[in-house]
Amino acid sequence: MIPTGFLDSRLKGFPTDHPALAIAEAGLQGWELLRGDLMLPMAVLKASALAHNLRWMADFCRERGLDLAPHGKTTMSPELWQRQIESGAWAISLATVFQASVAARHGVRRVLIPNQVLQWAELDALVNLQDEVPGWWVSFLVDSPQQVMQIEAWAQARQWTGRWPVLLEMGIPGQRTGCRDSGQALDLARRIHASHCLRLVGVECYEGPLASCDHDKDRAGVRELMDRVEAVARGVVAEQLCDLTEADGGALILSAGGSAIFDLVAERLLPDLGVPVRGVLRSGCYLTHDHSRYQRYLCCVGERLNLRETLRPAMEVLACVQSCPEPGLALLTMGKRDVGQDMGLPVPLWLADGRGGSPRTTPGHWHIDALNDQHAYLRFDPQAPGHEHPQVGQTVASGISHPCTTFDKWRWMPVVDDRYRVVAAITTWF
């Protein structure tokens, strides 16, 4: 197992004159972001929102009898994976064998890889991990006979006598991987069942591309997808094509779930098939949520479920006003190397004087319209009252859209309380 390790001045945002310290000691340094104790830009996680989101999703799954295998690729953070497991997660999902190896070596004992595994180097790595981490369980996806043949050729060449537990993937026409129709999927299930190195343990899909924030359209799309998933699962059960062991948990796995319309697939993950079924939701972005893309989607989830509150944004990126070179423009010390922009630009949230003063909400006319590598272009109304103009040296906090591509810009993040005092820290392993 890899030790959690230390923080030091090689990490962006860590004080360059501070000695290395164990991650567990980060909350004992007395650092305060509002006082300017850490260099900006700095991505932070809000402790109160993390705790709320962990409880919210755990309750959501428990009330529906589902298990959670959150997609750990969102954060790639062992400290956050551990918190998810402590909150009841059944497994952690990872997108690649490399990511799965990071999880295994940080103590995650059950991993789903909702992706195809077929490269010989990948399969060699999984065997090595099983030898290195006794009791480690991993399952991945299969969606074609060609993939099965690749794995069988590897097993024969390596004289490997085990059998990988796999999930059959159902896909969406025009989108990414997965069988396109039920007949194709059942033929593949039979092929897996006949393989000497694979065991079929369930059926999987990913509904994310269907999300549109149009309730009727989303319901119809998910209904069609999950009808196909259920039809294949019924065929698998009828033909006794699954081969479950005690390590698999003794139940047919049905798994789905991104972070946008997970409530709709959750309704269909425990069909009555006449055999035990484990419904596994794989949402990942729920933990930190965001201030834009997923906020819109969760508003729709709240409307469908008649909820007064759903998830809370937990991630912010703090930057300094570096320059105000012309009327209506300020440059922030935050750019593409610090914050994701693939699904929306950062959203200004609050400003403070950077010397210990309390934050206040940014004026409504402030917005960020572009990023360079190291700069954000903050636009504002030059005709607004002077106190609504950004000032050089101020701290500006921004919300983000799509947490995945902000996490991968940082190797550590402070966890802060609601007064932006550092109470803990996390690391990432991208």
**2 has pLDDT over 90:** no
Q: Among 87-91, 233-237, 248-252, 410-414, where is mean pLDDT lowest?
A: 248-252
Mean of the pLDDT values across residues 281-301? Answer: 96
- Compute the distance between CA of residue 11 and CA of residue 7 in angstroms, rounded to an integer: 7
Q: Among residues of the chain, what percentage have pLDDT more than 70? A: 99
Mean pLDDT score, 279-288: 97
Q: What average pLDDT does the structure give for the chain?
A: 96
Is pLDDT of 66 > 70?
yes
pLDDT of residue 1: 41
Residue 233 pLDDT exceeds 50: yes
CA distance 246 to 163: 14
Strand ranges for 305-346 from DSSP E: 315-326, 329-332
Predicted TM-score of the model (pTM)? 0.96
Residue 65 has pLDDT above 90, yes or no: yes
198 has which bridge partners?
A: 164
Residue-level pLDDT at 6: 87
Tens digits of per-residue pLDDT, 367-412? 999 999 999 999 999 999 999 999 999 999 999 999 999 999 999 9
Task: Determine the average pLDDT of the residues in 11-31.
Answer: 95
- DSSP structure class, residue 33: T
When pLDDT is cut at 50, 70 and 90, the band that residue 289 belongs to is: very high
pLDDT tens sequence across 324-357: 999 999 999 999 999 999 999 999 999 999 999 9
Is residue 4 very low, low, confident or very high in pLDDT (cuts 50, 70, 90)? Answer: low
Q: What angle do CA 266, 406, 416 make, to 5 degrees?
A: 90
Assigned token pair, 29: 């340094």
What are the φ and ψ backbone dihedral angles of 204, each rounded to 5 degrees?
Answer: -135, 155
Residue 258 DSSP SS3: coil
Closest CA to 341 of 363, 362, 317: 317
Question: Is pLDDT at 3 greater than 60 in this prediction?
Answer: no
Q: Are strands 376-379 and 367-371 parallel, antiparallel or unpaired?
A: antiparallel
Residue 415, both tokens: 């966890």
As a whole number of angstroms, the longest Cα–Cα distance in the chain is 76
pLDDT more than 90, % of the chain: 97
Residue 254: per-residue pLDDT: 98
Q: What is the pLDDT of residue 5?
A: 73
